[in-house]
Amino acid sequence: MEDQTYEVEVVDRVGSGDAFAGGFLYGYLTGKGIEASLKYGNAGAVLKHSCPGDLAWFTLEEVEKLIAGKGDLRISR
């Protein structure tokens, strides 16, 4: 199974695996299916790359916008 790739400027990689796991589990546990869960995980990891530190400072809305192709690859806080 594959998902799309994103070109993102990496600010910090720390925590991106956790963000992927969190996004994937969110999708899976809310009944969205494996393919959609992969999209949530991938989008979470991509967004995490744009934030410094080990916490993922983004919202579900930002993840869903990125999945839909309408979001920004950088989190601005």
Query: Which residues belong to the active site?
Result: 18
Half-sphere exposure of 39 (CA within 13 A, CB side): 15
- Alpha-carbon distance of 32 to 21, in angstroms, equals 15
* Cβ neighbour number for residue 18 with a 10 Å cutoff: 15
